[in-house]
Copies of this chain bind each other. A is one copy, B any other.
Amino acid sequence: MREVAIVGAGMTRFGELWNQSLRQMFVEAAAGALNDAGADRVDSMYVGCMSGGQFTGQEHLGPLMADQFGMTGVASVHVESACASGGVALRQAFIEVAAGVSDLVLAVGIEKMTDGADVTNVLATAADQELEVYYGVTFPGLYAMIARAHMHTYGTTEEDLAWVSVKNHRHGAKNDKAQFPTEFTVEQVLSSSMVAEPLRLLHCSPVSDGAAAVLLCPLDQAKQYTDRPVKIVGSGLATGSLALADRDDPAFLDSVQKSGERAFKMAGVGPRDIQVAEVHDCFSIAEVCCIEALGFVERGKGGPAAKDGFTAIGGCIPVNTSGGLKAKGHPVGATGVAQAIEIFRQLRGEAGARQVENARLGLAQNMGGSGASSVVHIFQGV
Contacts and interface: CB of A to CB of B under 8 A. Distances in A.
B82 A79 contact: no
Nearest to A122: B53
Contact of A77 (B23, B57, B81, B254): B81
A326 B79 CA distance: 28
A323 interface: no
A80 B1 CA distance: 26
B63 A239 contact: yes
Given A58-B125, A73-B258, A100 B1 contact: yes
Interface in A1-26: 1, 21, 23
A119 interface: no
Interface stretch (A90-98, A182-190, A217-225): A90-98
Contacts of A95: 95-96, 99, 101
Interface string A52-73: 1110111111111011000011
Contacts of A67: 239-242, 246, 372
Nearest to A61: B80
Interface residues of A toward B: which range? Answer: 35 or more
A23 to B, nearest CB: 8
A60 B96 contact: no
A74 to B, nearest CB: 6
Interface stretch (A126-134, A161-169, A195-203, A307-315): A126-134
Looking at A21, A66, A100, which has the most chain B CB atoms within 10 Å of its CB? A66
A369 B60 contact: yes
Contacts of A23: 130
Given A54-B53, A98-B101, A372 B81 contact: no
A377 to B, nearest CB: 13
- Within the oligomer, what is the number of copies of this chain? 2
B125 A59 contact: yes
Interface in A87-125: 88, 92, 95-96, 98-101, 122, 125
A275 interface: no
A75 interface: yes
Given A81-B62, A369-B60, A372-B67, A239 B125 contact: no
A1 to B, nearest CB: 5
A79 B75 CA distance: 13
Nearest to A100: B1
A354 interface: no
A239 B74 contact: yes
A76 interface: yes
Given A58-B125, A60-B369, 11 more contacts: A53-B125, A57-B129, A60-B126, A60-B242, A62-B368, A73-B238, A73-B254, A76-B373, A95-B96, A95-B99, A99-B100
12 contacts: A23-B130, A60-B125, A60-B369, A60-B372, A67-B240, A72-B240, A75-B239, A76-B237, A77-B92, A78-B79, A78-B80, A95-B101
3 pairs of A and B residues whose beta carbons are closest in the complex: A99-B99, A63-B372, A63-B239
